[in-house]
């Protein structure tokens, strides 16, 4: 069966450290993968997209890697800050590029 797993429901990290979140998938062949941030009571906000032929993407303190052999994406936040505390969702681009399937998310808490 098809499955998307994000490494853990919750991740606590000390301020200033690098947070690494994992998204693993099985029985999908995504054309792209996205990461979103969601704050409590709000809709998700798009952060980054990486395509199947790309290995790495960066945006400011964020870095995403995509390994289609391992069927895994890693999402890194360097120099983490308490304001980075949120739930982070990965989403696979499937179904002819028109739609995505979301993972259940990882709740990140950055401790001052």
Partner 1 sequence: DAGITQSPRHKVTETGTPVTLRCHQTENHRYMYWYRQDPGHGLRLIHYSYGVKDTDKGEVSDGYSVSRSKTEDFLLTLESATSSQTSVYFCAIRSGGTSYEQYFGPGTRLTVT
Report in angstroms how near the CB of residue 7 gets to partner 1 at its nearest: 14
Report in angstroms how near the CB of residue 17 gets to partner 1 at its nearest: 26
Per CB under 8 A, does 11 bind partner 1? no
CA gap 96, 112 in Å, rounded: 43
Residue 38 CB burial class (10 angstroms; 0-12, 13-18, ≥19) = middle
Report in angstroms how near the CB of residue 14 gets to partner 1 at its nearest: 27
Residues 23, 44, 80, 108: which binds partner 1 (CB under 8 A)? 44
- Find where tokens 């409590």 sit: 40
Span near partner 1 by CB under 8 A; candidates 12-20, 56-64, 70-78, 93-101: 93-101
Distance, CA of 75 to chain centre: 5
């Amino acid at each position: 069966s098809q499955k998307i797993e994000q490494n853990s429901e919750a991740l606590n990290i000390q301020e200033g450290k690098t947070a690494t979140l994992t998204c693993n998938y099985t029985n999908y062949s995504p054309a792209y993968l996205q990461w979103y941030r969601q704050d409590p009571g709000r809709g998700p906000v798009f952060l980054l997209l990486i395509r199947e032929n790309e290995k790495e993407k960066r945006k400011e303190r964020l870095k995403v890697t995509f390994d289609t052999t391992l069927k895994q994406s890693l999402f890194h936040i360097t120099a983490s800050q308490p304001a980075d505390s949120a739930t982070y969702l990965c989403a696979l681009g499937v179904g002819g590029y028109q739609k995505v399937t979301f993972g259940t998310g990882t709740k990140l808490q950055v401790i001052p």
